[in-house]
Structure 1
Amino acid sequence: MSDAADRWLAAHARTLDTLDPGAPYADLEPLRGVLRDVKIVGLGESTHGTREFFRLKHRVLEFLVRDMGCTVLAMEAGESAARAVDAYVCHGVGDPTRLIARLGFWTWRTEEMLDIVEWMRTHNLGVPADRRVRFVGIDPQLSADSVAALGSYLGQVAPERAADMAELEVLARARPGTGPDPEQRLLHRARSVAGFLDDNRAKFAELTSPQAAAEAVEHARILCRSADLVTRSLDPGSPQDNVFAVRDRYMAEAVARLTDDSGDSGDKGGSAGTAGTVALWAHNGHIAKGAYGNGVPALGSHLRARFGDGYYALGLLFGKGSFRARSANRTQGPGVRHRIGTSLRCVEGRLAAAVPGDYYVDLRAADPSSDGARWLREPSAQRSFGAAVPRLTYRFHLAPLTPAEDYDGLAFVSRSTCSRPLPDLDPEQP
C-alpha cells in the first residue's frame, strides 16, 4: 500500500482509549452514526483465543445494548446448549460457569466469556423484560440438550414415541461431517419427530403448557438441522452443498430468525424474533460479506444479500503477540500458547505501521475515487487462525482479503495475549 493509504488510515482511524469493559465509551461515539440504521452488527475475530478480542467485543456489546437498542448476542455456539445460558442471563437459572462449559466449544470456556455472561445477567436485572439482552446460539451442531429435552418431553406426552430418540442420540456428540447417510435415515427420523410434535402441538399444550409445547418443537427443529449437518460431505468440491456451506447457511438463517417478530418459541431460551439490534459474534471468516477461498459463501454473505446495508461486518485483527489455539492433532484441552510477530506480508502489517496503538476504522466512509482509499478494493491477505492450527506452519496462515468487499469496518489491536481458560470442570468435554 502507498503513502496515500497510510494517510487515509491516519485520517479515518478512531483511537480506542481502552479495551476494558465498563469504561466510559466516548471513543465509541462515532459508531452511533455509523450503526444508526444497522440491524445486525457482525463482530469478528482473526483468532478464537485472543483476550483483547473478547474484551473489546464485550465493551462494544455494552455500548450496543445501552445506547443502540441491541437485545440479542448471537454466538457461534450450539443452538441447543446456548438456551440454558439464555435462561441464566434472563432468569438467573443455573451456574454460569458450568453452562458455558456445556456449550461444547473450548474456545468459549474462558474467564472473558464468563465476564460477558455475568454482565448480561446484571444488566437484565435492572431493565424491563422486553429490554433484556439475550444469549442465543446459532450453530446446530452438538445438540445434547435438545436430545435430552425431547426424550423427557416425549416420555411425558407420548411414551410410544420416546423410542424414536434412540437413533437421534448420536446428535448429542457428533460433529459436522461425521459420516454420510445415503438414505438420510437420521434426518428423516428427526423430521418425523418434529412433524409429530408440530401436528399435536395444541393437544400437548393442554397436557403441559403452550410454552413447553413450543420449546419441544424448537428442540426438534434444532435436531433436524443438526442431523442434516452431521451427515453432509466434507468434500470442498461441492461448495454449495458441503458441510461448510450448509453450516454457514444455517447460522445465517438463525440470525435472520432473530430479526423476525413472528417467532413463537417463547421467552425462556427460545429463538423468537426481536425488534432490537442483533450483535453477531463469530470468526472473521464467518462474518465476512464474501466467500471463503474455496468458494463457499460465508454467513455474512447471506446476511448482506438479505439485509443489504442493514448488516455491518466489523473484522477484528491484531498486530503481534500470542493467542490460544489447539494443535491440529489434539482433540482435548483448552489450547496452548502460539506466538506471532508483525508481518508486512499481510494487511495487519500495514495497519500496525500506519497508526500506532488500538483503533477502529469505518470502511463505508471511504471515497472510492480517492487514491488513499484505493487499497480497500485491491486484493490483499489477512491472518486467519481457527480453533486448531498446525504446530509449526501456523505463522504462514493467510486468507485472501479485499477489505471493502469483505468488511464494513476494521478494529485493530496492536498486541494480542492469550484468553484465560476457566477451570476444567469436566474432562470429557470436547
Structure 2
Amino acid sequence: MSDEVTRFLVEEMGFSVLAMEASASAGPAVDAYVRQGVGDAAGVLAGLGFWTWRTREVLGMIEWMRAYNRGRLEDQKVRFVGVDPQKCGGSLAVLGSFLRQVAPDREAGLLAPLRVLAEAHPGAHPDPRRRLVRDAEELLGFLRGHGPDAADALRHARILVRAADLVTGTRQHTNPERTVFAARDRYMAEAVGELLTDPSTKIALWAHNGHITKGRYGGAVPAMGQHLHARFGDAYYALGLLFGSGSFRVRRMWPGPWSRPGAGALGTHRIGPAHPGTVEARLATANPGDHVVDLRGAATAPTAVREWLGGRHHTRSFGAVVPRWTYRFHLSPVSPAEEYDGLAYVAVSTASRPLPAS
C-alpha cells in the first residue's frame, strides 16, 4: 500500500522525496543508487540497518525509483532520505575518511570514543554525564573550522550528536518527554523539517503509525507526526495504515525486563479479523474491500459519524516487535479524526518477503 501511494504521489502529485524511518547515515548510499545508479539496490537497502525494510517489496520500490529517475534532469529526480539517527556506522566511515585527509593526527582521538554508536540501541549506555554527547559535540565543533569543504562531514557529525543523545538517554522516566523514545521522534521530525527549507519540496514519509500520528504513542510520547503537524499545520497529512486479517512478519519478544532490543524470533504470523468495536472492524463493516477514508471531510459527515470519529476507540498496534502469546490482543487507544487525516484499510494483509542474507 505504501508503495502504491508513493508512486501515485511522485507521478501524479509532484512529490520529490521518499523519507523513511531508517538510518540517516546510510540514506545517502540509497540516494546515490536511485539518482545516479551507484552500487546495487539490494546492497544499499541492506545498509539501512532495519530488517523491516530489507524485503522484496521495499527493494521493488528502490528499483522503481531508479527506473523513474533514469534519463531525467537532476532537479526532476526523486530523492531518498533516511531520518533516523540510529545505525550510524555510515557516518563514522565518512568522518573517518574526511579526518584522514584534513587532520590525520586527530582521527583516532576524535572518533575512537564514538565507534560504540555504530550499532548501539537507544538507551543502551545510559549516562547522566552524557560523555558520548560531549565527545560528539567536540567533533562537531572541530569540523566547523574547516569551511565549506566540511559540509557533508558536518551533516554526519550532527547525526552522531543525535545518536549519542539517544544511546546515553533513559528508556524510562516519570516524564515521557524526557525518554529516548521522545528524543528519537523529535530528531526524526527535525530531519524531515531540514528537507523542507525549499518550499517546493514534497515528501512521502514512511514510518510506523505510532510515529505518523498527530498525537502521542505508547501512552504519552509525543510522536514525530505531532511535531510535524505543530510546525507545518495542514501541510502535514497523517495517513494511518490498517488491515483486517492476514499475515505479517514480526519479532516476538519474551515478556519482562530480560528482553532486549533486536532479540526475539523473527517469523510470519497469521491473525483473523479484528475484534468487534475496533477501528479496523468498523472500517470492514462499512466497506469490506481495500479503501482509503479521508478524515478531513469529517466536518460534513452525519452527526453519528462525527461523534464516532472524534471518540476514543481501539486499534491493533503491531510494530517490528510484539509480546509473545498476547500480541493478538495488543490494542492501543486512538481518536481517529484527531490523530489522523486519513486511514488506508487493507482487507487481507500479506507478510513482507525477506531478502536472502548476503
1:410 is matched with which residue: 338, 343, 355?
A: 343
Cα deviation digits, residues 385-425 of structure 1 (max 9, x gap) = 11111221000110111000010001100001110000011
Matched, 1:177 2:102: no
Alignment of 1:356-367 (within 5 A): 356-367=288-299
Give a deviation string over 1:69-107, Cα, whole Å, max 9, x none: 111111000100111111111111112101111111000
Indicate conservation of the 8 Å contact 2:137/2:161, yes or no: yes
Q: Which residue of structure 1 aligns with residue 103 of structure 2?
A: 158
Conserved 8 A contact 1:71-1:277: yes
d(CA) in 1 for partners of 2:204, 2:188: 13
Alignment of 1:120-159 (within 5 A): 120-159=65-104
Using the TM superposition, give the Cα deviation of residue 187 of structure 1 relative to its aligned residue in structure 2, in angstroms: 0.8
Q: Structure 1 residue 386 and structure 2 residue 319: aligned?
A: yes
Summarize the alignment of residues 15-414 of structure 1 with structure 2, pairs less than 5 Å apart: 56-163=1-108, 164-202=110-148, 205=149, 213-261=150-198, 275-329=200-254, 331=262, 335-342=266-273, 343-367=275-299, 370-414=303-347
Distance change in 2, residues 1:333/1:129 (3 Å): farther
Which amino acid is the alignment partner of residue 285 of structure 2? A
Match for 2:124: what amino acid? T
Residue 257 (structure 2) aligns with: none
Mean Cα displacement is larger for which, 334-343 or 147-156? Answer: 334-343
- Which amino acid is the alignment partner of residue 378 of structure 1? G
| Displacement after TM superposition at 1:354 (Å) | 1.5
Post-superposition shift, 1:217? 1.0
- The answer as to whether partners of 1:234 and 1:244 remain within 8 angstroms in 2 is yes
Secondary structure of residue in 1 paired with 2:270: strand
Paired residues of 2:253 and 2:265 also in contact (CA < 8 A): no
- Is contact 1:229–1:246 with CA below 8 Å preserved after alignment? yes
Question: Which residue type is aligned with residue 260 of structure 1?
Answer: T
Which letter maps to 1:229?
Answer: L
Offset, 1:383: 0.5
Q: Secondary structure at the match of 2:128?
A: coil
**TM-score computed with the length of structure 2 as normaliser:** 0.94
Range moving further from structure 2, 320-329 or 249-258: 320-329
Q: Secondary structure at the match of 2:238?
A: strand
Q: CA distance change for structure 1 residues 372 and 333 in 2, over 3 Å: closer, same or farther? A: closer
- What secondary structure, in the 3-state scheme, does the structure 2 residue paired with 1:254 have? helix
On the 8 A contact 1:74/1:278 being kept in 2, the answer is yes
| Unaligned stretches of 5+ residues in structure 2 | 255-259
Alpha carbons 1:358, 1:414 under 8 Å: kept = yes
3-state DSSP of counterpart to 1:381: strand
8 A contact 1:236–1:294 mirrored in 2: no
Instruction: State the AA in 2 paired with 1:344.
Output: P
Where does structure 1 differ by over 2 angstroms across 4 or more consecutive aligned residues?
Answer: 329-335, 367-373
1:419 aligns with 2:356: no
Partner-residue secondary structure (3-state), 2:81: strand
Give the secondary-structure state (helix, strand or coil) at the position aligned to 1:147: helix
Aligned equivalents of 2:75, 2:33: Cα separation in 1 = 16
Q: Distance in 1 between matches of 2:167 and 2:231?
A: 26
Aligned-partner residue type, residue 367 of structure 1: A
Structure 1 unaligned residues grouped into runs of 5+: 1-55, 206-212, 262-273, 426-430
Question: What is the alpha-carbon distance in structure 1 between the residues aligned to residue 279 and residue 48 of structure 2?
Answer: 33
Query: Contact between 2:23 and 2:48, CA under 8 Å: does it hold in 1?
Result: yes
**Distance between the aligned counterparts of 1:87 and 1:159, measured in 2?**
27
Partner amino acid for 2:195? L
Which deviations, in whole Å up to 9, do the C-alpha atoms of 1:356-380 show, x marking residues without a partner?
2100010001126622322100100
Task: State the alpha-carbon separation in 2 of the partners of residues 422 and 120 from structure 1.
Answer: 18
Please report how far the alpha carbon of residue 333 of structure 1 lies from its aligned counterpart in structure 2 after TM superposition: 8.4
Name the aligned partner's letter for residue 278 of structure 1.
I
- Report if aligned partners of 1:124, 1:132 keep a CA contact under 8 Å in 2: yes
Structure 1 residue 149, shift from structure 2 partner: 1.1
TM-score by length of 1: 0.79
Q: What amino acid does structure 2 have at the position aligned with 1:316?
A: L
Q: Tell me how far apart the structure 2 counterparts of residues 302 and 193 of structure 1 sit (CA, whole Å).
A: 28
Residue of structure 2 equivalent to 1:15? none
**Alignment RMSD (CA, Å):** 1.5
* Cα pair 1:143 1:172 within 8 Å, conserved: yes
Highest RCO, 1 vs 2 (Cα 8 Å, sep ≥ 6): 1
Q: Is the 8 A contact 1:287 1:298 kept in 2?
A: yes
